[in-house]
Every structure is written in structure tokens, then in C-alpha cells.
Amino acid sequence: MAGQRNGRTVHDLRRENRAAVLQRLYFEGPMSRFTLGPATGLSSGSISNVVAELVTEGWVEEAGSVESDGGRPRTLLRVAPGRGQLIGVDVGETRVRVELFDLSLSELARAERPLTLKGHDVGGIAEHIRDGIGEVLDAAGGADEGLLGVGIGVPGIVSRDGELGAVVHGQTIGWNAVPLESLLRETGQLPASVPYFIDNGAKTLGQAEMWFGAGRGTRNAVVVLFGSGVGACVVTEDVEQGRAVEWGHLTVRVQGRRCRCGALGCLEAYAGAEALLERWQEAGGRPPGGMDEESGLTAMLNAAYPESGAADPTALLVLEETAEYLGAGLSDLINLFQPERILVGGWAGLQLGQRFLTAVKRYIPTYALSYPAGRVTIGLGRLGPDAVTVGAATLPLADFFARGGRRAAPVREAEVPGWQTALEGRSTS
């Protein structure tokens, strides 16, 4: 067919060329037109045409110059950080965090809504997201014309439904097939031109660490998330964007403690922050009353590993047992996926890792096969407790790249069913 080559149209080739230039400039820029050619594999003519388009549209701008060998200085180019905006949302288990970023993922504004122990009512979460989006946009001037999309990280498995969009299966929080995208589209205030991207929170954490953090340059990695619960994201050469795995619901003890998901003996029933505090109390410890989970975990760690004075033997025993459970759980990931690197993240993971990651590593030789165990490095993530939010913002950014710098097509009103109808007959909270 005229205008096609190997099944790809001229439009496809142009989109791919634009995507290649944008991604090189984003991750490796500033770069000159001269260096963009070898980096992307495009001809000088293609580079000239693509760059001219992107500069005219405002996605690319000049960023100084560099001396050349005997000729005129070469102009450097970069993706214009102020040309567009991204929103990342972390639907955590203790709070909903909403952040507005520019294209360089520099934070422009944030809003947070704490959650109670029974705080995952579907309508309430949607309201927190909607209000948080409005708050950060107001803080940045109120305009949404430059908003490329809203990325949302959630606890649970996310599937796609042709009519409903993203559907969340969050068993630990009581969500059974919740059509979150449809709900947000109907009740939110954003125009139809702004897309939503919803995925598992461990996957968004993994994508953030692989793009910008401790996983950068690694081809095979596992990024684990510790919060109230436990999750993981596996990145391989076959799955570059990562795949969320329900690692927290791996059975580590037959007929063990009952997990929040209802099963017995899950890793999350021993290693999640909620379970750690419960186990401390069940063993006879005395967690300080009136504290949220984050403060309670800090108190437990301080009791077990005091800067001075005697350690709380109960807290120390629970954490030492947990180190073995985690060592065994990480060994399963090593045996299954043989990663180059395992990164520990999430607010609880960063707290725990700083204090007893060395103890966890001691159990790897006991439970993992020696060959893959000898090739893996285990460390902490670099992006801090906000990594899920940053990773959520990369979801619309990745879509923007894939489209070659084109905006997503608006969602037509007829494509969005009422969420009450969609939820009929389903358990939601």
C-alpha cells in the first residue's frame, strides 16, 4: 500500500522518530543535532525536520552551546520543562498524596489527605484525588491546558475493561473490581482531553527507580515496596516497563498468621508495617498508643536499636524474625527472576532498610541458590518515600513519549458509563 513500509505508515515513522528524539533529549540531554543523529540512528535530514517540528511546537528548546572541532559552536537542545505538566497520585494505605510536576519532574505543588484505618471507601478516595488535583492546580495558577495526564498508583491488581477503563482489584483494602477510571472521569473536573493512567503502586515505584533512581542502567531488577503491606515490581529485558507481582502474598509459613487478604501465612502478614506492630504487641511489647503506623514503626525501631541504653528484647526479637522472613522472601525473588539488583523502597522499607538490611542479607545464602545469589546486589531505593508519586507521574510521561509528543485524543462522554451503574452488584469497601 502506498505510504506504508513493512506495515508502518509514514505517520507511524514520524511518530517513532519524534519519540526517539524526545527520549534521547529527556534522558541524555542537553544534546546537539550533531550528536542526536548517532544516538537515535536517524539521518541528519530527519533530525533537522523532527527538531524543527518540536521546537515550533514548544516541546524542545535551546539550552546553550558547545564548542565543535574547528567549526561554529553547536547549539544544545533539551526538552522544555515548562511546556507541559504531569500529576502523580499515590493512593497509599495511610494517605492519598497528589503532586504536580513539570516535564522534568520537578515538583510544583503537592496536597495530602490522611486516611483512617477504614479510609478506603471508594467514593472517599475519589473525592481525595479530585480535591487534591484541584488544590495542586490552583497552587500553580489554576490552568490545566498544559496538563498531559494524571497517573495514579494504587494498592492492588489493575486490569483493563473496554468500557470502564482501569479496574482495581484491591483485596486487602476491600476493593472488588472497582472501576476507578470511570468514577474519576465522571465525577472529576478535568476536561476530556486529560487522560488518566492507573497502575499498581509497586510498579510505579519500580518505574521511578529504574528511570531516575538506583535502578538506572540495570536491565534486570526487582523493586520491592514496603508500606502497611508489601509488593514488588519485576523489570526484565522482556518487560521493560515492569510487571507488578503480588510478592506480599507469597506463602512463607504454612498455617501461619492470617493476612489482610484472608489467606494464611503470607509474607505481608509478617513483614508489612501493620503486621510488625501487631506482632510486637502480640509478643508482649508495648507500642506507644495513639500513633499512626509510620510513627509506630519508628518507635519500634528505636526500641529495638536504641542509640543508648538497653534494647527492648521483644521488639528486637520480632525484627530479627522478620529479617529471616524477608531474607527468605527475597531469596524466592532471586531464584525466580535472577535479577542483577534488588531495591527496597516505600516509607516502611526505607525505615527498615536503614536499620536492619544487613541482617536480612545474612539469610540470602541460606535460602537462595548460590549462583544467582552471588550475582545480585541488594540496596535501598534513592528516591525516598515520594517515589510512588513520581512513578505515577511517569505513566502519562511514557504515553506522551510513545505518541511522539502528541497529546492523547479526548475521551468522548458517550465512552464513559456512570460509575454507579458500573459498581452495581460489586463489593467496593
Q: Which long-range contacts (CB under 8 A, 24 or more apart) does 161-168 make?
A: 163/415, 163/417, 164/417, 164/422, 165/196, 165/198, 166/196, 166/197, 166/198, 166/199, 168/198
Q: Is the model's pLDDT at 316 over the cut of 90?
A: yes
pLDDT of residue 163: 80
Q: Is the model's pLDDT at 216 over the cut of 70?
A: yes
pLDDT band at 119 (very low <50, low <70, confident <90, very high): low
Q: Is the model's pLDDT at 68 over the cut of 80?
A: no
Q: In the predicted model, what is the mean pLDDT of residues 256-282? A: 93
Which of 79-88, 98-107, 226-235 has the lowest average pLDDT? 226-235
Q: In the predicted model, what is the mean pLDDT of residues 4-19? A: 82
pLDDT band at 421 (very low <50, low <70, confident <90, very high): very low
pLDDT of residue 416: 42
pLDDT: is 347 or 119 the higher one?
A: 347
pLDDT of residue 307: 87
pLDDT of residue 29: 84
Please name the residues in contact with 135: beta carbons below 8 A apart, sequence gap of 6 or more: 98, 109, 111
Q: Is the model's pLDDT at 36 over the cut of 90?
A: yes
- As given in the structure block, the three cell numbers for residue 354 are 536503614
Mean pLDDT, all residues of the chain: 88
pLDDT band at 208 (very low <50, low <70, confident <90, very high): very high
pTM above 0.85, yes or no: yes
pLDDT band at 409 (very low <50, low <70, confident <90, very high): low
pLDDT band at 422 (very low <50, low <70, confident <90, very high): very low
pLDDT of residue 70: 66
Q: In the predicted model, what is the mean pLDDT of residues 219-229? A: 92
Q: In the predicted model, what is the mean pLDDT of residues 87-114? A: 94
Tell me the one-letter amino acid at 67: E
Q: Is the model's pLDDT at 333 over the cut of 50?
A: yes
Which of 136-150, 309-323, 384-398 has the lowest average pLDDT? 136-150
- As given in the structure block, the three cell numbers for residue 133 are 488535583
Q: Is the model's pLDDT at 3 over the cut of 90?
A: no
pLDDT of residue 374: 96
Give CA–CA dist 243/246, Å, rounded: 10
pLDDT of residue 214: 93
Give CA–CA dist 383/16, Å, rounded: 30
Give CA–CA dist 231/224, Å, rounded: 6
- The upper half-sphere exposure of residue 413, i.e. CA atoms within 13 Å in the direction of its Cβ, equals 3
Cis peptide, bond prior to residue 30, ω within 30 of zero: yes
- Structural contact between residues 304 and 354, judged by C-beta atoms closer than 8 angstroms: no
